[in-house]
Amino acid sequence: MCGIVAYIGHQKASDVIIKGLKRLEYRGYDSAGIALMDGGLNVYKKKGKVSELEDFIKGEDLKSTVGMGHTRWATHGEPNDVNAHPHFSQSGNLAIIHNGIIENYAALKKDLEGKGYTFKSETDSEVFINFIEDIYNNNDGTLEEAVRLALTKVVGAYAIVILSKEKPNQLIAARKGSPMVIGVGRNEFFIASDATPIVEYTNEVVYVNDYEIAVIKDSELTIRDTKDVKMTPYIQKVDMELEAIEKGGFEHFMLKEIFEQPKSIKDCFRGRLIANNGQLVLGGIREYANALTNAERIVIVACGTSWHAGLVAEYIFEEFCRIPVEVEYASEFRYRNPIIREGDIVIAISQSGETADTLAAMELAKSKGAIVLGVCNVVGSSISRVSHEGVYTHAGPEIGVASTKAFTAQLTVLTMIALRVAHRKGTMAEQRYRSFLAELESIPAKVEKALKTDDQVKKIAALFKDSRNCLYLGRGYNFPVALEGALKLKEISYIHAEGYPAAEMKHGPIALIDEEMPVVVIATRDSSYDKIVSNIQEVKARKGKVIAIVSEGDSLIPGMVDHTIEVPGTHDALMPMVATIPLQLLSYHIAVMRNCNVDQPRNLAKSVTVE
């Protein structure tokens, strides 16, 4: 979850690191700190956001060209100055920044306390650096060797960077289960959790793999694994523009990303879909296309918004491909001894490609002989490397913690995979297949039109911004949209909201409805339309306030409800990509009106790299 940045070169390290931490703040913003080799090993850290750290070091004469920084999402120990990173070893000779979680830290801490070590913080990270120092002090080897030995003993996930007072022109970094990328410049190197702090300086990067240790000194990068085998760094080009990680005139990243969706959806199928020719090419799953087509079962694993995308995909795959689909929370999947058979297809969905629970589910599935396909946004991410094959969404960087364009991008890719399988399998007639391709190609324009409801949605938001609870209802393909709408409201406005299948309302939630309860109903014209109309009448009979998302030209529902928001019509299976737009806007405007931090909601972080 946390964000790490380190630099060694010829520039002023503190400037590079602070700017990088701001770009990574979506990964955690409980506290922040930097360590600099500046006539010694000096640490500056502060509870709160990076801007508070920046204010804290104003006036300091920071000239160092070597340093590291960290922005925290708390796991062990509450957010405060002491628990903030970096952490010193007891002697003060070593300092560490750490993204991840050390599961056996308590046992290590007890052992170190028995040797006379004392600890200032409540963190597992301080235990980690003292464990490394203890090995270093009691062996004749180098610090790199001590790090390597320590990594064979710790259990958990980590991306770490270490500075040593004895080696002022050296950085040591390592990873397992938490992301790390090294930017390669001219006689300078950058280390970060992802490429966003790096693209301003270089587009050449090395993605560090699990169990690898990188040492940068004397303008050289060497990488070895924990068995001391030297690895050859593979330098890749990063395809990311600096403006993609700027707000571009929008007040918040979330709003920018909502309005980017016509482009991000189009980018998903650019070069893959040409409806006029009936062409749909997905090179990322070419090798396993037959296995996917002939699969007896598909299991989708994901978390949060990606899980909602998986629920929509379940409906799509079963309707189009006639393949049974199960959608699992990745966080629960491996703890219930799931039945996975050789030849099962497991599709893992993640925006970041680093979600720890999803990665663990993938590893379990692979160990049981399943074919694992990844759907993710970040090139070079862990999920893309663990998968047998997969498809990138190409949605561009998503900085807002509440996922928006990732959801519609995932739906686009999952729909294309299902269409490709259905066509190969013969479960979708040629004419219907071509019609669907054409309709999918039209979705960006329909999303563009749905975005024009923004002013109307803003007025509705003003009426309900002080609500304490909200219910979201949908049927069929729109049931997962209701779940996603409720999640968005919860995440950024802190209003309690629940999504339900509309028909299930009378099995419990209807007891909550009164004149104070806003009920958002996704009521577009589809095969369940008559049923959803009945559900709306049930809500109105209990004096609920109904906000209905309806298809353009609907003449029935507007006369029954309090507020309607019209969106362009499309096929049932594609409606989630359109119907979700006003729900994203509603949650955004309510959060803004409640003075909530839209891009950095409390207690949340973008990339969940710990279980």
Q: Among all residues, which ones are annotated catalytic?
A: 2, 606
Beta bridge partners of 207: 181
Residue with tokens 């001590």: 146
Which residues make beta-bridge pairs with 546?
A: 519
Neighbouring CB atoms inside 10 A of 449's CB total 16
Instruction: Decide: helix, strand or coil at residue 591.
Output: helix
Closest listed residue to residue 297, CA positions, set 277, 319, 275, 325: 325
44: which strand partners?
34
Closest to 408 in 3D by CA, of 381, 455, 356, 448 = 448
> In whole angstroms, what is the distance from residue 111 CA to residue 131 CA?
9
Q: Please, are residues 295 and 345 in contact by the beta-carbon 8 Å criterion?
A: yes
Instruction: Give the number of other Cβ atoms within 10 Å of residue 303's Cβ.
Output: 22
- As a whole number of angstroms, the distance between CA 159 and CA 527 comes to 49
Residue 8 and residue 66 in contact, taking contact as beta carbons nearer than 8 Å:
yes
Q: Are 59 and 90 in contact (CB under 8 A)?
A: no
**Residues whose CB is less than 8 angstroms from the CB of residue 114 and which lie 6 or more positions away in sequence, other chains included:** none
CB-based contact 42:67 (threshold 8 Å): no
* Gap between the terminal Cα atoms of the chain: 10
| Chain centroid offset of residue 582 CA | 22
Amino acid in position 435: S
Residue 470 has a CB neighbour count (10 Å cut-off) of: 25
Are residues 406 and 394 in contact, defined by beta-carbon separation less than 8 angstroms? no
The set of residues, in sequence order, having a beta carbon less than 8 Å from that of 106 and lying 6+ positions away, is none
* Measured CA distances, 434 to 20, 148, 277, 312 (Å): 46, 56, 8, 21
Instruction: State the amino acid at position 195 in one-letter form.
Output: A
Rounded CA separation 312/310 (Å): 5
With contact defined as beta carbons under 8 Å apart, do 96 and 70 qualify? no
Other CB atoms within 10 A of residue 396 CB? 20
- The Cα 150–Cα 289 span in angstroms is 42
Q: What is the DSSP letter of 40?
A: S
Best CA proximity match to 45, nearest among 9, 8, 2, 11: 2
CB proximity list for 415: less than 8 A, separation 6 or greater: 313, 316, 440, 573, 574
**Residue 159 near residue 4 (C-beta atoms within 8 A):** yes
